[in-house]
Structure 1
Amino acid sequence: MGARKRIRAEKIKEAKKTDYFAKLRNVPTSPRKMRLVADMIRGKEVNLALDMLKFSSKEASRRVEKLLLSAIANWKEKNEGVRIEDANLYVSEIAVDSGRILKRLRPAPQGRAHRIRKRSNHVTLRVASKVVSSETQEN
């Protein structure tokens, strides 16, 4: 591996150490419905986002709430001595991608059949801190 590639790989590795995310795969909800919930919390502070998801009437919000709690737990795992309130965590990125599509047939009049597409999606949620931690300031 050349020097440039190695240096770039090391930078990417360092960036991943401060990257806190959670993934939810093969959710049996259409991506369009999930994106409505994702747009609701994108860029919001974590506690506000949790409140919004908890009191939302949409079914997809329950799954996103659980995913956000998982991302917060991943953040806590690497930052043991820091409180969430002090870190000022927010939802930095949330992406909803299309998953696999189950194709089914429904009987239609006159011996025909209509295709039904049962969609699923993948959700990736990243949290970040607005405040720079004291460890990164020392280095």
Structure 2
Amino acid sequence: MSKIAVEKVREFRAEAKFQRTSPQKAKLVLDMIKGLRVEQAINTVHFSTKKMAPVIEKVLRSAIQNANYVSQEQGLDVDVDNLYVRTAIANEGPRMKRIRPAPMGRAFRYQRRLAHIIVTVAEKKSAESVSASAAEAPAAPVAKKAAKKTAAKSAAKKPAAKKAATKKAAK
């Protein structure tokens, strides 16, 4: 048996808590940047017209700086240009209960929602490490493809089921 060295992917995150917006509105912007490279994500958020875009841009830049700082402090080799947005989440924070005046001396309650925004960036695997891992186990994907092809051929050879002819009863 040979031991395979598994390289742990480092994640760097930043949070902005108690933002005065609903999580639903923040998720509209966060969904645009999920999975993008950091540079492209910053450009996307910078030119977005949503109200939460500047806040999310600030959190994204903070996550990048966290990656830079931790890599310098711990002596890690993190390439900031190789980072991508791994997760971008807007969780619900506490709700503020407020009262709106209503006709005839009554009052209606409404809630102001708050959001906790969390952005996590991680380093993409370099091409060298991807090719090395692909060279170690090339047989498994080939076997899966062959199994799929044989299953597709056997399904194609089966004749279509015939429908029974229905006859109308004559009066």
TM-score (norm 1): 0.77
Displacement after TM superposition at 1:19 (Å) = 2.4
**Structure 2 matches for 1:99-114, cutoff 5 A?**
99-114=93-108
**Structure 2 matches for 1:1-139, cutoff 5 A?**
18-80=10-72, 82-85=78-81, 88-131=82-125
Displacement after TM superposition at 1:130 (Å) = 0.8
Equivalent AA in structure 2 for residue 79 of structure 1: S
Question: Could you say what secondary structure the match of 2:111 adopts?
Answer: strand
Question: Could you say what secondary structure the match of 1:78 adopts?
Answer: helix
Higher strand proportion (structure 1 or 2): 1
Counterpart Cα distance in 2 of 1:82 and 1:35: 28
Displacement after TM superposition at 1:124 (Å) = 1.0
Question: Could you say what secondary structure the match of 1:57 adopts?
Answer: coil
Equivalent AA in structure 2 for residue 129 of structure 1: E
Displacement after TM superposition at 1:131 (Å) = 2.3
* Larger gyration radius, structure 1 or structure 2: 2
> Cα deviation per residue 1:79-110 (whole Å; 9 max; x = unaligned)?
2465422xx21000111110011111111112
TM-score (norm 2): 0.63
> Cα deviation per residue 1:14-61 (whole Å; 9 max; x = unaligned)?
x6x922111110001111110101111111110000001111111101
Task: Provide the alpha-carbon RMSD of the alignment.
Answer: 2.3
Counterpart Cα distance in 1 of 2:11 and 2:79: 17
Greater RCO, 1 or 2 (C-alpha within 8 Å, sep 6+): 1
Regions of 4+ moved over 3 Å: 80-83
